[in-house]
Structure 1
Amino acid sequence: MNIVFLFLLVFGFSHCAVDYDQYDDEDLALSIPKDAVGVPKEFRRRVLKEMAIRQKPNDIPKNRCYCNYDESICGKNMTCVKMDGAACYHAVEEKYNKHEKRMETQHKWGCATLERGSGASHLTCNSWRAAHHSPKSIGCCYEGNFCNKDLVPPPYVHHHKEKVLQEEDNSYNETNSSFNNVINGIEMFFIIIAVGMIAFGVVWWAYRRRSRSAKEKPVSLSTESSYWDEKRAMMEDSGSGSGQAALLQRTVRQDLTIIQTIGQGRYGEVRKALYRGSYVAVKTFYTTDEDSWKNERDVYQTNMINHENILQFVAADIWSEEDSMTKMLLITDYHELGSLSDYLCREETLTTEEALRLIHSCLCGIEHLHASVQGTGSFRKPEIAHRDIKSKNIIVKRPNVCCIADLGLALRYQNNEIIPQKYNVQVGTKRYMAPELLSNTLNPQDFSQFKMADIYSMALVMWEIVIRVEVNTCEEVSALDETAADHSASSGIGESISSSDNYSRIQRHQKPKVESPASLKAKPYMPPFDGIVHNDPSFDDMREVVYVRKVRPPPELAWKKVPVLHKLSKLMEDSWHAMPHFRHTALKLKKETTKLIEMTDRQKQQQGKEMFQQQDSCLVESATNRYAC
């Protein structure tokens, strides 16, 4: 009996071993519950691993996103797997901590869903543009490989009501807690109902009043950029065929009252309009120039672009006129003095100081465009090249103060790349184009060469301004010569002014011989190369004149007799040099003109002191004569 039992036991073990090895692969396909009892640990581990692989067929590096949800979503390694074409996201939200009584930032990382029909996650990734009850934002990336781990979401768009909502919620909780601790009984129940009804009525009345005042409150020009940010998602395209059409329930154009047309250019026309009680300039683009409108709008919305010498942006909009033509609007501040070209065409001439301050303000605006400015946090202003500097694209805000306008051709250099990525190198006004643009030798990989092309154009604008100067050379030289020596010791450029051709020293010795004051008559306004090329020169004409023959606008001989004008003429010659790397930077020109302004200010103060002393001596002399009589 024992022998039979032992035989059966050995036969059973051997049979089980054969069966397990033979059907090992087939068992992996069985749907065995994760918590099944009696399954060997090694076998169950292989089954679960196979099931996990089949559940994540897209588990490759480009589809992996960083995830901080619980293990049911992210697993133990804080990783989720997105679908091909979907995005990884980093979402932030401000939550009010009732216990700590402060706002706390909550971060969520994960995988966005793949939207049917779009092949991407547009709705999820653009949800930050819409209004939310609490401040929240989301940033997306499609590269995978945990690209969302260091991703910085866009700043909050809507958060001005959150503080009020928190205070109301906090006040309500404290009041409710106080009632729960103090009031007890049936009598107090009716009091609570009565107070609740009164509170509800007060809150409802306040809500209606606030809603009505919000509708009636006008949006100031300074906050219109914020209004545009709220509508930006709906206005990315005009419906001309390059993007989806967008309809706005309320547009900026409906608040505009067009007054008159004040200018016309290659992209459209500029009109003066009334916008919520203030005059604005409305630049109209046609759909054929939609890219230029988008680029100028984006440049005006660049971080930290606002500057005294950059034209102030108000708003942008898309509008369909009565003739069913879609037009794009760009709204900026209006300045009645018009462009610098119009300002120089007036009959009135300029003084040396006026010309110097006009040039200085233009250089301040260009220097701000060219500079890269680091702000707080991740905010950074990129380098910007204007690419169409000319007197018609410079606005005179008020006497002696200009601002740079028309940024439709501008390029931005951000994160080691040029924005927009598709651009044409040889653009701008041909009369003002630098020789490297005319000869097609500009290196587009070197962004500084675009900025040097701006400097060349600005040098021509400086010449346009200086030829409108009318000055008494004897008075200017005798006055400035007295302060030139002191300026050379303090500013570092006075020596070059006072010692060039030894002119100032000769004037001091020859001043008693001057019998009648000589004057430098201002010439009527003329554009650069006037008389050399016709009004609308061709590209080949300008290439022949500027690049081949190396012709530049001629300086006036009388400028050498005035130290300030002589220094400005030297700065012009250096700035329109044929080689870009020999030209001054905008910062250098700004500093040099600042020194010249300081020198003229000291000269005016010295003149005032001498005049006061002269008047004082005359009074003493007259009093002495009266006493003698």
Structure 2
Amino acid sequence: MRSRIHHNMYRSCLLAFCCIFWLGQFNNGVQSLKCKCEVCKETNFTCDTDGYCFTTTYLTTKGGIEHNYRCLDRALQVPHNNPLFCHKQKSLNTTFVMECCKHEDFCNAHLSPQLMPKPQVPKSPFSTSEITLIIVISSILLLLAILGAFYLYKTKRKRSGMHHHLRHGEDSIEAPDHPILKGVSLQHMIEMTTSGSGSGLPLLVQRSIARQIQLVEIIGQGRFGEVWRGRWRGENVAVKIFSSREERSWFREAEIYQTVMLRHDNILGFIAADNKDNGTWTQLWLITDYHEYGSLFDFLGRNTMDTNGMIRMALSIATGLAHLHMDIMGTQGFFFLYVLKTSNEKISTGKPAIAHRDLKSKNILVKSNFTCAIGDLGLAVRHDSTTDTVDIPLNNRVGTKRYMAPEVLDETMNVNHFDSFKRADVYALGLIFWEIARRGNVGGIYDEYQLPFYDAVPSDPTIEEMRRVVCVEKQRPNIPNRWQSCEALRIMLKLMKECWYHNATARLTALRIKKTLSNFRTSEELKM
């Protein structure tokens, strides 16, 4: 009898221990956390995450202070137990600060990170005339010192000969090397670190790269800020610097670029994102591949191309858009998926479908082989296939009015249906094909480069002007007669007309456009 009691007690203790152990495993980082999210209108301003809730406080250009509330998923936490994004540098947090929490649902609603006061400049004890005298004397002494140093340098160089191993300025660094950066090119490093997930470099590596970039020259400006050509260890990179009021656009574009499996030859290559606080204002950097030919808008304004080049360029853009629009499923096993689903953890099984929402020739880059890469994903939206919802960012920016589809202009588009956004992208693609076709050189004959509807609306049209032309009058860009005499131009004409149908559901898909152009290019190659 006693042995049976002891046996039952042992079984009870063992069962309790197992329950406690598995409950601990369940709660160890896989339980969903609810956070306040100001951009999540569809879910009652609430987001779910497997990581942290966070609140940011930043200084606007007008001197006001604003707060943002979002989720920081576990996939963006580096390291997982102490995310880099949640670190505070109190002496620098004068214009931007971020604070994280995970102890309870909606914990970020109670967070209010405080900006540090800017250091006060002590009043000088000297008068203006005394300061002027000091500056003049200091300048003279500095000039003498420079001349003396130059003389010593020349003398030493003559004595030691001309063979010196000089350290180039572009090799200087501002941050210590991450181990993965030593002796590795950007391309090799990206291939090495993203071949598994395709979701971008680790955040610590991104920050190390950003701290080592030297800005060389400004190559573009826009509503968001500026674009610079930068140098990283002898390699050119493009640095997109957002103004502080465009923090949402910067965060959104960095978030979209780091989507799993997004990397593609015809999508602008993302390298790193970082924010830099210089004590006066916060610079928000987005670092991408550099393409010397610039945007498609710039390229077409300076160059024409033969029909083969025209088809090749159009095919590359359609291929990039088809990849964006495609929903790519992952390869996790059924048991693994079952375990994650039963634990209520958010899972990403592959690349979600993405719509661009601001497709135009200025947002497409021309590569050195004259194919194209689609860039500027700050307005992009993602489709959540599990809930059939659209992840629409809260952003003051709108798309480019000249390229807006009829249903966008007259506000009849169903924003809760993801295919609506893809069809609006295809409409814009048809206008871009029209821009390319005008520069197709057939027997020395080509058209002057123009923007779509150049002859129907002003250079900066309003929504009302575009609505009148596109929706009411149902105009489309004019088609030159010469296009009927060339098979390649006829193919382009047929495609663009099927892209800009007024009825959005009648438009081609990006994948269908890609296959049509690919088949035509293959048939032309067989003829040669």
TM-score, scaled relative to structure 2 = 0.63
Aligned residue for 1:407, secondary structure, equals coil
How do residues 466-477 of structure 1 correspond to structure 2 at under 5 angstroms? 466-472=437-443
Is the CA contact (8 Å cut-off) linking 2:239 and 2:288 kept in structure 1?
A: yes
Alignment pair present for 1:455 and 2:434: no
Aligned AA (2:481): L
Q: How does 1:108-123 map to 2 (within 5 A)?
A: none
Equivalent-residue separation in structure 2 for 1:269 and 1:69 (angstroms): 64
Q: Which residue is 2:360 aligned to?
A: 390
C-alpha contact 1:559 1:565 (8 A) present in aligned 2: yes
CA offsets, 1:425-468, max 9 Å, x none? 99210000000000000001110010000000000000000011
One-letter code aligned to 2:471: Y
Paired AA for residue 442 in structure 2: V
Q: Name the SS of the counterpart of 1:332 in structure 2.
A: strand
- 1:268 maps to 225
Q: In 1, distance between residues paired with 2:103 and 2:380?
A: 27
Distance 1:432 1:357 in 2: 22
The structure whose Rg is larger is 1
1:350 corresponds, among 299, 305, 309, to 305
2:381 touches 2:392 (CA, 8 Å); kept in 1? no
Contact 1:292–1:409 under 8 Å retained in 2:
yes
**RMSD across aligned C-alpha pairs, in angstroms?**
3.7
User: Residue 71 of structure 1: which of 4, 10, 16 is its match?
Assistant: 16
Give yes or no for the alignment of 1:278 onto 2:210. Answer: no
For residue 470 of structure 1, report the CA deviation from its aligned partner.
Answer: 2.1
Residues 316 and 371 of structure 2 are in contact (CA less than 8 Å); yes or no, is this contact kept in structure 1? yes
Q: In structure 1, what is the Cα distance between the partners aligned to 2:470 and 2:14?
A: 65
State the partner residue of 2:79.
Answer: 130
Q: Is the 8 A contact 2:389 2:417 kept in 1?
A: no
Give 1:344's aligned amino acid.
L
Distance in structure 2 (CA, Å) of the matches to 1:333 and 1:393: 14
For residues 123 and 522 of structure 1, the distance between their equivalents in structure 2, rounded to whole angstroms, comes to 51
Q: Pairwise mapping of residues 144-163 of structure 1 onto structure 2 (< 5 A)?
A: none
Corresponding residue number in structure 1 for 2:94: none
Aligned residue for 2:381? 411
- Whether the 8 Å contact between 1:355 and 1:400 is mirrored in structure 2 is no
1:538-617 counterparts in 2 under 5 A? 538-604=462-528
Map of 1:229 onto structure 2: 202
The structural deviation recorded for 1:229 is: 2.9
Q: Deviations over 1:314-333 (max 9, x none)?
A: 111101246x1101100001
Instruction: Provide the identity percentage.
Output: 37
1:551-608 Cα offsets, whole Å, 9 max, x none, are 100111111111221121011111100011000000100011011111221232xxxx
Q: Is the 8 A contact 1:88 1:142 kept in 2?
A: no
Confirm or deny that 1:532 pairs with 2:456: yes
Aligned residues: 368
Residue 523 of structure 1 deviates from its aligned partner by 1.5
Conservation of the 8 A alpha-carbon contact between 1:455 and 1:584: yes
Q: State the 1:469 CA deviation.
A: 1.4
Contact 1:395 1:405 in 2 (8 A): yes
Report the Cα offset of residue 351 of structure 1.
1.0
| SS, match of residue 245 in structure 2 | helix
1:294 aligns with 2:251: yes
Report deviation, 1:277: 2.4
**407, 426, 437: which one aligns with 1:436:** 407
Q: How far is 1:391 from its partner?
A: 0.4
Q: Which whole-Å CA distance do the structure 2 matches of 1:355 and 1:583 have between them? A: 22
In 2, Cα distance between equivalents of 1:340 and 1:127: 32
Pick 1 or 2: higher relative contact order, CA cutoff 8 A, min separation 6: 2
Aligned to 1:465: 436
Question: Residue 289 of structure 2: which of 333, 338, 352 is its match?
Answer: 333
In structure 1, stretches of 5+ residues that fail to align are 1-40, 42-67, 92-111, 116-121, 133-139, 144-210, 236-249, 473-518, 605-629
**Conserved? CA contact 1:411–1:418, under 8 Å:** no
* Cross-structure match for 1:624: none
> What is the distance in 2 between the residues matched to 1:393 and 1:379?
29
Q: Structure 2 regions of 5+ residues with no counterpart?
A: 6-12, 32-49, 54-70, 82-101, 106-175, 195-199, 333-347
Q: Matched residues in 2 for 1:129 and 1:213: separation?
A: 13
Q: Closer, same or farther in 2 for the Cα pair 1:424/1:437, shift >3 Å? A: farther
**Alpha-carbon deviations, 1:223-268, whole Å to 9, x = none?**
3677853449xx9xxxxxxxxxxxxxx6543301111000011101
